[in-house]
Each structure stands twice: as structure tokens, then as C-alpha cells.
Chain A
Amino acid sequence: MLDLLTGFVGELRSAGIPVSLTEHLDAAEALRHVPMEDREALKYTLGASLVKSSTHWRAYETAFEIYFSLRGPDYTIAEDGEDPDLTDESGAERLPGSGGRQGEGRGGGGGGQEGMTPEELADLLYKALLGSNDAMVATVARQAVSRYAGMEAGRPVGGTYYLYRTLRNLDLDRVLERLVADARAGGPPPGGAAVPEELTGLEERLLRDEFQVRIDRLRQEIESEIRRRLVADRGSEALAKSIRKPLPEDIDVMHATRDELVALRKLLQPLSRKLAVRLARKRRHGRKGPLDFRATVRHSLSTGGVPVEPKFRYPRPSKPEIVVIADISGSVASFARFTLHLVHAISSQFSKVRSFVFIDGIDEVSRFFDGVDDPAEAVHRINTEADVIWVDGHSDYGHALTVFWERWGEEITPRSSVLLLGDARNNYHASQAWVVKELRARARHVYWLNPEPRAYWNSGDSIVGEYGVHCDDVVECRTLRQLEKFVGELA
């Protein structure tokens, strides 16, 4: 067991969750107090000693599923090409749902019901969702996976493909519609709640949410079922490696999936709040300033000219003025959005924040942030209202920068820090890098934030190097963690 735990901790570490030695020891100690057979309790108690941040919980859960999954004869993948129906030996006559805990796979005996037709399965699925019966949902998940996933033993994959195949065949969206439609037509009430004859908008919505939750549960069940089988096939470590996902703060913003973007957006709010709090504190508890020679001498008069008490200058850290110029064309749009959100969320730390967005035309968007307490809202408006198309809607850094220089260049002062955001993929237009050089001459700092990995810079139509020579620094900024670090140092 301790070996398993060590492997598990190793996996958590390589997934990016920091687990210290003390925490490892605690977990080992915890194992002594928790009954091994209670998986849920094990999960929570181990989690309590190993994972110290709620954003890491998902990653922990996945790793736990893999390392402490149930193993048994049920969870093997049918040999290559073999029809799952043929493996049916025991109890096809057992009724779905009556099998109770089959899905849990304690020991043998769980092999039933392999011989269902797709229609039967669909029907069972419908009933399971309608009745909110956990055991039945588990059965359906098992069934669906053996029927549709088409898993092959020994393939080094993470299971996403299997999941996709299973879900496509089940067509859960249609099931949801059917459930709602039936309920509307006076079907049996779910979960024992009385449903009156006529469904009002409110009730229909509640029903829909209820079914949605159940469908989500089914989806999770299917996912873990697939994972269980993969573990049985390939062992924990190999699988963990192939399905390891980055923690939310380490997700590559440019290539994030839709789900990941949602997770990121959720993370952004607390992140910017924390950053603001930290910066405000930093400012308040600033160190003493340099020695104020004049004041010291002056004060020494009272001690007969002996400088007994040195006086220091009161620190007045200047608040920089920030000018953000962001490319919001398709490839880097989400990155620009996050940066704008973050910068405006902590705008109290700057004396002034002005933002401009461009694709091939450029537009000032500071006005959207005025008087709005939620930066997310303003960012949303930028997408719909800003006037950034000049010719064809393909990034043209050269033109955008030239226009910026002509219209707003005068307003850049030695107190401004200019942030240029983008991958500098210019579609082979002229770079007009002189603008950046001029900006550098006027402004305090010019930084370029590039959401692309450093290795891709200056390849293809990326000309970040041409601009980069004129910047104080060109920073690779692919994840929220990097972005937070950069913005934190800026203020």
C-alpha cells in the first residue's frame, strides 16, 4: 500500500501539484486510520492531507481514480475485435437495475447484460435518467462503454477518443430533449416531486436542470468506466502519463479547449482579486526610502550637530500609467481578453490604464471599462463593439501601429508603460517596426507579451524579433501563472 501511495504522490507531483514530504507522511499516517474498503473516505482523507488548493482538486481526483480504481475481472477490455456479445456468459437474464451494485465490480458476477440491442440500451438509458437510479446509471455506463467505445487492448491512448465515440452513439442531447418533452406531456415525475398538469416556464426550467445534472453524472460515470478499463489494461502509471492534464493556471491559453477556457475564466476573478490585494499591501508596507541627508542634518541641530537619528525619505512609489495595445484577432483573442481583464481588474494600482485593440484597424476601448465594476462585461463588449477591421480582418501589425502612432502617439509620456500583446504574425505585411522604436523613445518601458512558445517565435510570418529589438523585454506569456507574474512585477 505504501508503495502505491508513493507512486501516487509521484504522479501528483508530476501533474504539478506540490506535495511536500511532510504531507506525504501525513497521508501515510492517515491511511492507518481510514478503512481501506471505503473508497470515498479514502479519497477525501488522502486529499485532505495531500492537496491544499481547490483548483488542484480535479487533477487529484483524476489521479486518484487511476491509482485507486477498482480492479477485477470485469474491467478488462474484450480481446481485439471480439464481439462483446460473445463474452456474455453469466446472467443475461438479469434485469437492469436489479443487479444493484454490479457497476461497482466487487469480485466477479458483473458480466451480465452484454447482449443488449442498441434499442434496449437506449431505453434503459432513458429509464435510468428518468428514475435517477445511481446503480442503473452505472449499469448503463458500463453497457454503453462495452458496446460503443470499441476499446482495443494495448493502445497507448488517453481515452478521450473512446469517450467521444461512446457519447456520440448515445446522443445525450436528444435524450435530454425527449425527457423534457415527455415531462411536458405529463410523464412520470422525476425524483418523486409532484409535477402539476401544466408546466410553467419555471418548472420546465427546473426539470431541464434536473435532467441535465443526471446526464452529467452519466457522462462522468462513462468517463471513469473507460478509465477503469484502461487502468486494467495498461496499468496506472502508463495511463496517468497519457491523461495528465495541466492545472488550470498552467493551461496554455492559446490552445485551450472550451471547457478549459471556462475554467480559466473562473480562475481569473479570484486571481485578479488576490493580485490587487497583494499589490495594495506591498505598497502600504513599503520599505523605508533612501537616507534624506538634508532632513538628517536639520534634525541633528537639536542634538548639537550630532546626527543621532537618521531621517529617511518617505517612499512614494509612483504608479505607472499603462497603455495596453492588444491584438484581438482569432489566434490570440482569448489571451488578449485575459490580459485586458487582469490589467483593468487591478487598475487601482495604476494611475491610468488605456487600452487599444486591433486586428488590422485599431480602436481605443478604454471607454468600455469606465464605470463598469465587472471587467468581464467590458471585455465582452469589446468583442462586439470595437471597430478593428480596416481591410480584410487579418492581423496587420504594421498598419495598426502606424495608425496608433499618428492618432495617439502624442499622448505617450515618459510615465507610460506600453504593453504590446500579440504573436506578431503579420501575414507578411510591412512590419513598421520604427513605431515601436519611437514608442520606446517616448515611453518609460515598452514590453511585448507573446502568447506563443518561444520556440515558435520568428518562424513563418512571426516577426516578433523585428519588434523585439526595440522593446525593453519580450516575454513569453502562455499561461495565467506567467501573466500574473508579469503584471505583478509591473505594478
Chain B
Amino acid sequence: MTQEITSGFPMAGAPRFESIDAVRQGLAGVDYLADEGISGVVYLADRLAKPVLVEGPAGTGKTELAKSVARLTGSRLIRLQCYEGLDESKALYEWNYKKQLLRIQADAGQSWEQLEEDIFSEEFLLPRPLLEAIRSPEPVVLLVDEVDRVELETEALLLEILSEYQVSIPELGTVRATQIPLVFLTSNNTRELSEALKRRCLYLHIDYPQLERERAIIETRVPGISKALADQVARIVRSIRTLDLKKDPSVSETLDWARTLVVLGVESIDVEQARDTLHILLKYQTDIERASKELSGVQAPD
């Protein structure tokens, strides 16, 4: 299984995108509205063959970005969901030792050298997401989700694959990527990632969108919403985000809210309706109270 090794840095394959604008338009085609920063970084990631580390508040479309890029480029999306306690055998590869045992028992007469060569071959290897991503012959988008959840030590597992696009298996040798996958790592920033990891990635911070972009997102993602309502929703959400809340409404919550309003047949939001449906947007009781008070104009805005 050891593949032909070309020396030096892995070369990027044929570029996937023509220009930054092409990225943006392409993403818009799959219903993901990217801004300058997002499309620029995706473009650069493709050209430099570097992974992208995406950070930002929850629900701003970090995971969605990877999915959309996969859809846009027609690649397979391989996803590695990180959690505390994730280890090599779940992320990289594992030997199928049951099968190995069977193989040993089935053929007791063989010499040991032959047997050893046999049971440590590709047939007995169980590829996990990371190995799968670089072995795949077809184009792949690799999504390492919530990378901040693994321990600092486990992060090191990722380093080889992120910088060299290869996996070293002691018994087999080094597996090189047949094509350079686009890699996205997302992080909710619950802890500082290691310098080594950050250094290998391009960094993209996705924040809550500007008013115009949020409005456009609502219009594309919520079918049947009127322009006026979308505009109103976006502006109310922006107002709410300026308040000092425990948790600001995310884009996905905004979309949920907009969908609810459409289902309820609301044409234009008044204070009453806003207050009744606010619990979709906000998840803390104190936040809801605060926002509904502010929105109905009880407190004079300072």
C-alpha cells in the first residue's frame, strides 16, 4: 500500500476556483452567501493547499461552509466529529484485529514472516475519517468539526495530515494523499488551540453577518418570505444583538424565527408578535425579558 512518494511539499492539484469572485458566486449558487473574507480565504486555501481553521460564535454557518464547499466542488464530504477522548483509532486508522486473528487461525501452517506480512496489509486496515480523506481517489472535503473539544495532546494527531497530507503507519509506511483535500477545521473557541495547529492553518473568523448579508441569507434560506418581512427580521435581530445579552441570537436562530413567522402568516411584525415568538430567537429567560422590554420601547434607548 506504500505509495510512490514524490519528494517535497505536496503540490496543489488543478485549482478548483478561478477567482475570489468565482468562489463567492459558486457558493451563492448552493445557497451559501459568503462575504469578502469567507470567499477570499476559501480561494486562498485552495491555491495554497492549506487547511482553514474557522472560528466564530455558534450558529454562524461554520459547518455549513464546509458542506457548501463540498456541494459546490462536487466532492465527497468526510466529517470527523471531535469529542473529548477521541484517539488515533477513531480518527486515523485501526487494525482489524479480529480479522487478523481469524487469518492466523485459518492458516496455521504458514511461516511467521509470511504471516506477518500478510496480516499487516491493507486488507486488515480499517480506515477512519482522516485516513479515508487522503486515500480517497475522488475529490474530498474534510471537515474536522469542533476541534477545540479534543485534548491538547490529541491535536498533535492532526498535525501530520494537515501540513503534509500524509499519514504514517508504522507497519505499512507512509500513506500520501492522492489528491489534496480541502480541509476545514471548526472551533467554538472553548479553549486556545495550540500554536502548532494554528500555524499550519489559514484563519477565518466568521462573525454575525452585516445587515444586508443577513437579509439576503434570510431571503435565500426561507422560502416564501416577503422582502419587507425579511428586512424587518434582520433589523430586529441586529437591534437585539446590540443589547448586552447572555447569548446573542445566531443566524440559524434568526432563520428559525423567520420560518416561524412565515408559517404563522405574519406579514409585518408588531411588538405583540415579536414578544410572543421571541423564545425562538433567545434561549435564556432573562434575555427574553430584557429584549421584549427593549423592543416595546418601555425603556428609553440611551
Partners in one complex: yes
Contact B238 A209 (CB under 8 A): yes
Distance of A485 Cα from B196 Cα, bound (Å) = 21
In the assembled complex, B79 has its CB within 8 A of some CB on chain A: no
A45 at the interface (CB under 8 A from B): yes
9 shortest interchain CB distances as A-B pairs = A201-B297, A44-B40, A44-B37, A52-B198, A48-B202, A54-B205, A33-B47, A48-B41, A52-B203
Residues of chain B within 8 A of A208, CB atoms compared: 301
Whole-angstrom CA separation of A200 from B296 in the bound complex: 8
A191 CA to B215 CA in the complex, in Å?
13
> A26 vs B203: C-alpha distance in the bound complex, in angstroms?
12
Q: CB-CB < 8 A to B204: which residues of A?
A: 48
A374–B235 Cα gap in the complex (Å)?
Answer: 28
Minimal Cβ-Cβ distance residue in A for B235: A206
In contact, A26 and B190 (Cβ under 8 angstroms): no
**Does A430 sit at the interface, judged by CB under 8 A?**
no
Q: Are A201 and B295 in contact (CB under 8 A)?
A: yes
Q: List 26 A-B contacts (CB under 8 A).
A: A18-B195, A20-B195, A26-B202, A33-B47, A33-B48, A35-B19, A41-B36, A44-B37, A45-B40, A47-B37, A48-B52, A48-B203, A49-B202, A49-B203, A54-B189, A54-B207, A201-B295, A202-B270, A205-B295, A205-B301, A206-B239, A209-B235, A213-B211, A213-B238, A274-B191, A374-B246
Q: Are B44 and A202 in contact (CB under 8 A)?
A: no
- Residues of chain B contacted by A204 (CB below 8 angstroms): 297
Q: How far is the CA of A205 from the CA of B294 in the complex (A)?
A: 8
CA distance A205 to B271 in the complex (A): 11
Residues 210-252 of A, flagged 1 when their CB comes within 8 A of B and 0 if not, give 1001000000000000000000000000000000000000000
How many inter-chain contacts with C-beta < 8 Å in the A-B complex? 113
Q: A52-B198, A194-B228, A200-B297 are in contact. Are A44 and B36 (CB under 8 A)?
A: yes
Task: Count B interface residues, CB 8 Å.
Answer: 50
**A201 & B198 in contact (Cβ 8 Å cutoff):** no
Determine how close the nearest CB of chain B comes to the CB of A96; give it in whole angstroms: 23
| Contact digits for B199-215, partner A, Cβ 8 Å, 1 yes 0 no | 11111110100010000
List of B residues within 8 angstroms of A193 by Cβ? 228, 231-232, 235
Q: Interface residues, chain A, CB within 8 Å of chain B?
A: 18, 20, 22-23, 26, 29-30, 33-35, 38, 40-41, 44-45, 47-49, 51-54, 57, 191, 193-194, 200-202, 204-206, 208-210, 213, 270, 273-274, 277-278, 281, 285, 374
Which residues of chain A are near B231, meaning CB under 8 Å?
A: 191, 193
Would A34 and B40 be within 8 Å (CB), given that A52-B198, A205-B294 are in contact? yes
Please, which residues of chain B bring their CB within 8 A of the CB of A285? 151
Interchain nearest-CB distance for A325 vs B (Å): 29
CA distance A20 to B43 in the complex (A): 22
Residues in chain B near residue A201, CB distance under 8 A = 271, 295-298
Q: Which of B223-267 contact A (CB under 8 A)?
A: 228, 231-232, 235-236, 238-239, 242, 246
Given contact pairs A41-B36, A205-B295, A206-B235, A33 touches B43 in the complex (Cβ within 8 A): yes
Residues facing A in B264-302 (CB within 8 A) are 269-271, 274, 294-298, 301
A202 near B271 with CB under 8 A, answer yes
B142 at interface by CB-CB < 8 Å: no
Chain A residues closer than 8 Å to B274, beta-carbon distance:
202
A interface, by DSSP: helix, strand, loop or mixed? Answer: helix
Query: Least Cβ distance of B207 to chain A in Å?
Result: 8
Q: Which of B22-60 contact A (CB under 8 A)?
A: 36-37, 40-41, 43-44, 47-48, 50, 52-53, 55-56
Contact partner, A200, options B48, B55, B271, Cβ 8 Å: B271
Give every chain B residue within 8 A of A40 (Cβ-Cβ): 36, 40
Contact of B236 among A18, A48, A191, A206 (CB under 8 A): A206
- With A201-B295, A205-B297, A270-B189 as known contacts, state yes or no: A51 contacts B270, CB within 8 Å: no
Q: How far is the CA of A311 from the CA of B236 in the complex (A)?
A: 63
B20 interfacial contact with A, CB 8 Å: yes
- The answer to whether A274 and B37 have CB atoms under 8 Å apart is no
Q: Can you add 5 more A-B contacts, CB < 8 Å, to A47-B37, A274-B191?
A: A47-B203, A48-B202, A52-B53, A201-B297, A205-B301
Question: A49 → chain B, closest Cβ, in Å?
Answer: 6
Contact between chains at B228 and A281 (CB < 8 Å): no
Residues of B within 8 A of A54 (CB): 55-56, 189, 205, 207
CB distance from A264 to the nearest CB of B (A): 14
| A277 and B235 form a contact (CB under 8 A) | no
Which chain A residues lie closer than 8 Å to B195 at the CB level? 18, 20
A193 to B235 Cα, complex, angstroms: 11
* A49-B44 in contact (CB<8A): yes
The listed residue (A44, A209, A277) touching B191 by CB distance below 8 A is A277
Q: Which residue of A lies closest to B206 (CB)?
A: A54
**A23 vs B220: C-alpha distance in the bound complex, in angstroms?**
37
B171 on interface, CB distance cutoff 8 Å: no
